[in-house]
Amino acid sequence: MNRPLDGIRILELGMVFVLPAAILPLAALGADVIKVEAGKRPDSTRWGPSPDNEVRPDALNYGGHFRMLNRNKRGITLDLTNPRGRDLFLQLVAVSDVVAENFTPRVIRNLRLDYEALRAVNERIILLSSTGFGQSGPWSNYRAYGPNTEAVDGLMHVTGYPDGPPQRAGAGGLGVAFTDVAGAYFGTFAILAALDYRDRTGCGQWLDLSHYEAGVATIPEALLDFEMNGRVMSRTGNRDRWRAPQGAYRCSGNDRWVAISVATDSQFASLAREMGMPALASDERFATLLRRHANHDALDALISSWTAALTAESVEQRLQRIGVEATSVATLRDVWLDPQLRHRGTFQVMPPPAMAPNIGPRPFLRPSWKMSVSSSATNTDAPTFNQHTDEVLSELLGISEPEISQLESEGVISRDPQPGILPRTGVMDLKDLVRAERLREVDSQYHTRLLDWFSDNDS
């Protein structure tokens, strides 16, 4: 079946999260994505986390993050600091539609692969430059990581509790920064918009994406509040100025919670009756939204005393039945086993890599939309290191096998990463991570759960 981006070719010069994640949905929609790595600088996500927390031979080819972010892509190696490697890359630019890179601005200029250099070989080329702080300004050459951009863009200042410090909005510890996700989405949309513009005008363009600005765009209410009212928004935890009570309340079981949000006086009266405390609705401390806000701590204590003896699922069902907004707080395990996601085929089962069949099949997220006449499924696994170099150079540039061998001997392409640059292990001490509260628990039954998921999915 034809896919929306069949016939579009993208050269990806990126690693870690933001840029690979931006290009991932385009690959799922049919674009021929060629990921370019170098023997002395492979994508660092190749070596972790390792399936089952074990390191096997060729571990760099099946790291979980790399497989998640680079499905449906082809992988080649080119040393862009080598004149011959740069020349081959420009030849690929001549037969491509998009180049996407996440170097700091000085790097792409030093490689002489800036927009003007690409335009010289392909006037219709689209270049996405995905950087922490953009191509101009005093911060343009600063390196950026998610925790930094979450701090500098104001997001951390409004995230947390009134009596606590600013907190990261992203999944801290082993997770991904919120601004990384925002930057990835903006990169995807920018490329699609530029392709549409080129279809209508014939002109390519340079897309200057700043992760900092992408993060700023996620807090428009706080910015508007200052612009219009001169107010600097403070941290409010789970509370909301237009609702009360609102929060997450502990339930029975190990770290189980329910989220409750009350918008109107009538909803609060319904909540009070369901709790067996109908008099709360007429209590002067809670009779109006403003009074409930003023006495939120006392109200939270009353709700928590009620929910503590109940399961999160039972509170969810009881409150939804009477028109009060409530839902159990899902753990990541709950998400994996969620019947709604299973029904929609959100997780697609991929076979194990050829070099590590004992890993077994694993489920991966598909793009978050379904299309009535096109597919966005995963068709190929993430590429092994250097997997498609010969194929791409011969197919697109007509380079012969003897020439490819000569390129290898000259160090222009690399069959394997440069010795000494790979870490010795990708194994984590899971017990230490639990003790440090970077993990809540380690599920010893996850293999069984995955097998059950596969069985139900197949049926």
CB 307 within 8 A of CB 314: no
- Taken in order 308, 314, 320, 323, is the CA torsion positive or negative? negative
Beta strands 206-210; 126-131: pairing state:
parallel
Q: What is the DSSP string of 222-240?
A: HHHHHHHH-------TT-B
- Taken in order 234, 237, 243, 244, is the CA torsion positive or negative? negative
CA pair distance 399, 299, nearest whole angstrom: 73
- Residues with Cβ < 8 Å from 360, sequence gap 6 or more? 352, 450
Q: Is 180 among the residues known to form the active site? A: yes
Tell me the residue ranges of DSSP E strands in 105-173: 126-131
User: How is the beta sheet containing 257-261 ordered, strand by strand?
Assistant: 246-250, 257-261, 325-328
| 129, amino acid identity | S
Q: Is 101 helix (H, G, I), strand (E, B) or coil?
A: strand
CB 52 within 8 A of CB 386: no
CA pair distance 258, 256, nearest whole angstrom: 7
Q: What is the DSSP string of 408-458?
A: HHTTSS-SSPPTT-S-S-----HHHHHHTTSSS---TTHHHHHHHHHHHHH
Q: Which residues lie across from 248 on neighbouring strands?
A: 259
- Residues with Cβ < 8 Å from 293, sequence gap 6 or more? 239, 241, 244
**What is the Cβ-side half-sphere exposure of residue 276, based on CA atoms within 13 angstroms?**
3
Kindly name the residue from 180, 208, 300, 381 that is annotated as catalytic: 180
Name the strand (E) or helix (H) holding 257: strand 257-261
Q: Which residues are catalytic?
A: 180
